[in-house]
Structures are given as C-alpha cells and as structure tokens.
Amino acid sequence: MIKSFKLNPIIRIALPEDAEQLLAHLQGLSEETGIDVPLSPGEIKITLEEERQIITDYANSENSVFLVAEENAAIVGELTCKGGSLKAFHHSASLGMSVKKGWRGKGIGNTLMKAALDWARENSSLRRIELNVYVRNVSAIHLYQKYGFELEGRRRAVIYQDGEFLDDYVMALSLKRQFLH
C-alpha cells in the first residue's frame, strides 16, 4: 500500500500566461460532484482574455494576491486574497482556495495558506482576512483553524448544490490587534 505523501510545490504569484491552466482548473472543479466549491458544469463563462485581466488586476492591487501552486510546471492549486477596493474595506481581504482533484491531502493547501499569510502579514494595509467554507468541509475548516481563523457565523441554506441546500461558515483572521481609528 502506498502511503500519502507531502509535496513541495512551487508557490508563486499567478501570471497572465497562467490563464489557460487556471481556466482548465476551474472547469475541472465545476465538473466534480460532491466537491465543496459552488460551481456547476457550464457555469465558467470567463474568456481567456478576461482571466488574463483578472490576474493582471490582482498583480496591480496593493492589497490583493493571486497565488498558484505548481508541480512539474502544472498548476495544481490556487489561492486568492482579494482586498477591498473601497476605503472602508481596504483593510479586509476575502480568501478563496482550491486544489486540483488527485492533489488534495498532500499538503498543497497548507503550503498555499502559509504563503498567503506570510504575504498578508507583510502587507501594511491588511488587518483582516475572511472566507466562507462549507460546514461539511471538515478538513478545510481544520486547516483554517490551524492558521488562526475563527468562526464568526453560519449562513443557512446559502448554497444549492447537487439537489440540496447547504450551509457555510464565515471565518476570519485578525492580522493585527491594533486597528486604525
């Protein structure tokens, strides 16, 4: 029996030339059943040029980052932290992450989280990172808790997927205890 193993993926900033692989990654997620990502087949309508522009917009934002995890030149995971564009929300970022089927449980999500939080702690404008996670996604919840995210609330029946209504949690991490007044 082969045991599970941890990988050492390359974590780097997404580049416009990653757009095709990232769209294929999203398409693959949308076709999975039972996955805890609110996508369905046929819902990915982003063009290659639009995806390139999204990546460029992240790169040009001081309070946002788009990371990819790469193994053997293939993107196997991604993580985004999108900072608020309005002054009132500039200190807060929303986190989203996914790992390609077949690559889950190998430490890629952990490595992406570590890199994202290292980036966030270096970013002087960020004070808070928040995310939504399916209540049933116990492994993701444990990962977020490991990095200090705390449960802030539960949204009931917020997702309709595979014929059922599902709840998710709102979780957040305070990066700095001294908030601006």
Domains for the chain: give ranges and CATH numbers. 10-127 (3.40.630.30)
According to DSSP, the residues that pair with 19 across neighbouring strands are none
pLDDT score recorded for residue 39:
84
pTM across the whole model: 0.91
Nearest to residue 79, comparing CAs of 138, 124, 155, 18?
A: 18
85 DSSP 8-state letter? S
Asked if residues 44 and 26 have their Cβ atoms less than 8 Å apart, the reply is yes
pLDDT per residue over 62-112, tens digit each? 999 999 999 999 999 999 999 999 999 999 999 999 999 999 999 999 999
Closest CA to 42 of 29, 51, 57: 29
Is residue 147 within 8 Å of residue 117, measured between CB atoms?
Answer: yes
| Mean pLDDT split into 10-residue runs, the chain, 181 residues | 64 98 94 85 92 98 97 96 95 97 94 97 93 97 98 97 94 74 42
Pair of tokens at residue 32:
């999975």
According to the model, what pLDDT value does residue 178 have? Answer: 45
Going across the sheet that includes 74-83, the strands are 10-13, 65-71, 74-83, 92-99, 128-134, 164-174, 150-161
